[in-house]
Amino acid sequence: MQLRINGELRTLEADPRTTLLDLLREQLGLTGSKKGCDQGQCGACTVHVNGRRTLACLSLAIAHQHDEITTVEGLADGDELHPMQAAFLECDAFQCGYCTPGQIMSAIAMLEEAAAGIPSHVTPDVAEPPGARELSSEEIRERMSGNICRCGAYPNIIDAIRHAQSVKRAG
């Protein structure tokens, strides 16, 4: 199969039952995406497929031929971190760090979803979704609810998301 991962076209052989997560970690050595629950409940394996967040543990690798797959390793531009990665560092938005790659990938996609006008369950008026304006803490918590942090770093994660959003709006 051929997969485009972090901008690079890769030709791979894998059992058709291989999950995207196992292929990334075991065949390609891209260990940023974590195997937390292996049931799609924790979000530690979140990657982007064609710009949308996807749980790699629930997705078969073979299903993603011709898709653009981005992992946390593919976010930085050389030595320059993605603004969300930099915000997580600046706001100390992690403790053990196990969930951090999935949190970062989900946060980036979540801001894109909000900017595209996709409402969440707590959007006050679905006729006027948040768009590019600053999201409330309630909106951020709801939109990030698929990502679990066992250490409880949620307040700093929310701060990091707000910081990255303000940097994006300013830049």
For the stretch 145-155, pLDDT in tens is 999 999 999 99
Q: Out of 40, 56, 74, pick the residue that ends a domain.
A: 74
Q: What is the pLDDT of residue 130?
A: 77
Q: What is the pLDDT of residue 153?
A: 95
Q: For residue 129, what pLDDT band results from cuts at 50, 70 and 90?
A: confident
Shared domain for 92 and 41, answered yes or no, is: no
Structure tokens at 109: 């996609």
Average pLDDT over residues 66-89: 96
In total, how many domains does the chain have?
A: 2
Shared domain for 90 and 35, answered yes or no, is: no
Q: Out of 74, 96, 121, pick the residue that ends a domain.
A: 74
Shared domain for 31 and 58, answered yes or no, is: yes
Shared domain for 46 and 65, answered yes or no, is: yes
**Reduced to 3 states, what is the DSSP secondary structure of residue 152?**
coil
Q: Where are the alpha helices (DSSP H) in 50-149?
A: 83-90, 100-115, 137-143
CA 89-90-92 angle, 5° bins: 65
Q: What is the pLDDT of residue 167?
A: 81
Shared domain for 6 and 61, answered yes or no, is: yes
Shared domain for 101 and 156, answered yes or no, is: yes
pTM: 0.94
Q: Out of 43, 74, 105, pick the residue that ends a domain.
A: 74
Q: For residue 123, what pLDDT band results from cuts at 50, 70 and 90?
A: confident
Which has the closest alpha carbon to 164: 138, 148, 142, 140? 140
Shared domain for 120 and 164, answered yes or no, is: yes
Q: For residue 171, what pLDDT band results from cuts at 50, 70 and 90?
A: low
Shared domain for 113 and 134, answered yes or no, is: yes
Question: Is residue 132's pLDDT more than 80?
Answer: no
Q: What is the pLDDT of residue 127?
A: 83
Shared domain for 68 and 95, answered yes or no, is: no
Question: Is residue 169's pLDDT more than 80?
Answer: no
Shared domain for 22 and 61, answered yes or no, is: yes
Q: Hey, CA dihedral for 89, 93, 96, 102, is it positive or negative? A: negative
Domain with 29 in it: 2-74
* Contact predicate 75/85, CB 8 Å: yes
Q: For residue 65, what pLDDT band results from cuts at 50, 70 and 90?
A: very high
Shared domain for 64 and 97, answered yes or no, is: no
* Contact predicate 39/57, CB 8 Å: yes
